[in-house]
Amino acid sequence: MKNVFIIGVGLIGGSFALDVKSIFKEAKIFGIDINDNHIAEAKTLGIIDEKADLEDLPKADFVILAIPVDKTLQLLPSVLDKVKDSAIVMDAGSTKFDICKLVENHPKRRNFLAAHPIAGTEFSGPKAAFAGLYKNKTNIICEVEKTAFKLQEQALQLFQQMGMRIRYMNPEAHDKHIAYVSHLSHISSFMLGKTVIDKERNERDIFDMAGSGFESTVRLAKSSPAMWTPIFKQNKNNVLETLEEYIQNLNEFKTFIENDDFESVYQVMSNTNRIKEILKGIN
């Protein structure tokens, strides 16, 4: 693992670079980004050693694409075209079906590892990157059998050294489940933020009355629209299904309140308290 290329030097790519550097002292980190300010920032912050461009990819041993999922679809085939036979190319996107489909017949499919490290914060850009982001996080790998065994091994060893748990899934299952436990959370949070902002034109009132509960539920509404729009586009059908069910549940709860059926209001909340045990599992 000598020449490591980070395509997209933001939170995900930048944090990955910092971990790689602390594991492989001799690694040289190259940064590729359409935003020159991000490249400059990443250099200043010690995230990358050198700016590079796509024409430099033939010397890469490891490439991570950490860019919005629509950009990954555009870029991945040509990245695979350029790398040498022993290179590993991984993505880190929150959708897996389209990307796996896109390269299923690519002559360098064996160099690609379709991955989704479940890690991040609501912030973005190189300044948001930090070492240790991936520690104790789950990395979901799809269609692992399509990646060359030797390259799998190398990548898995790196993930283990970074402290990640590995889980294998097919792309369809990944996209379906992640719609529930991640994509829907982002929509509920964005729409909560919108509802409150639309109503509370006087921000002082929000500021004074909002507590940690509000903060927790709208935190994800700070997320990057450039990252999330293509995720919702690529995972359209699953996202629509989760949204449909979420809206149904909200309407049912609203009807309970309208009908003064507070017994049902109590019951549905009580049943949902089981989330405590599930969340304990996450920590």
Tell which positions 126-145 bind its own copies, by CB under 8 A.
137-138, 140
Q: How far is the CB of 94 from its own copies (least distance, A)?
A: 10
Q: Is 35 or 182 the residue whose CB approaches its own copies more closely?
A: 182
Of these, 25, 85, 107, 275, which contacts its own copies (CB under 8 A)?
A: 275
Contact 111, 149 (CB under 8 A): no
User: What whole-number distance in Å separates Cα of residue 283 and Cα of residue 205?
Assistant: 34
Per CB under 8 A, which of residues 135..194 are in contact with its own copies?
137-138, 140, 165, 167, 177-178, 180-182, 184-194
User: What whole-number distance in Å separates Cα of residue 7 and Cα of residue 131?
Assistant: 17
Q: Is 25 or 276 the residue whose CB approaches its own copies more closely?
A: 276
| Interaction between residue 84 and its own copies (CB under 8 A) | no
Rounded to 10 deg, the angle between the 11-23 and 149-161 helix axes is 90
Q: Is 29 or 67 the residue whose CB approaches its own copies more closely?
A: 67
User: What whole-number distance in Å separates Cα of residue 21 and Cα of residue 262?
Assistant: 56
Of these, 8, 14, 93, 120, which contacts its own copies (CB under 8 A)?
A: 120
Q: Is 5 or 228 the residue whose CB approaches its own copies more closely?
A: 228
User: What whole-number distance in Å separates Cα of residue 194 and Cα of residue 131?
Assistant: 33
| Interaction between residue 26 and its own copies (CB under 8 A) | no
Q: Are strands 28-32 and 3-7 parallel, antiparallel or unpaired?
A: parallel
| Interaction between residue 233 and its own copies (CB under 8 A) | yes
Using CB under 8 A as the criterion, what x/- string covers residues 235-274 for binding its own copies?
Answer: -x--xx-xxxxxx-xxx-xx--xx-x-x--xxxxxxxxxx
| Interaction between residue 105 and its own copies (CB under 8 A) | no
Q: How far is the CB of 39 from its own copies (least distance, A)?
A: 24
Q: Are strands 138-142 and 112-117 parallel, antiparallel or unpaired?
A: antiparallel
User: What whole-number distance in Å separates Cα of residue 22 and Cα of residue 12?
Assistant: 16
Q: Can you state the percent helix, strand and coil of the chain, rounding each to 5?
A: 60, 15, 30
Of these, 101, 135, 150, 199, which contacts its own copies (CB under 8 A)?
A: 199
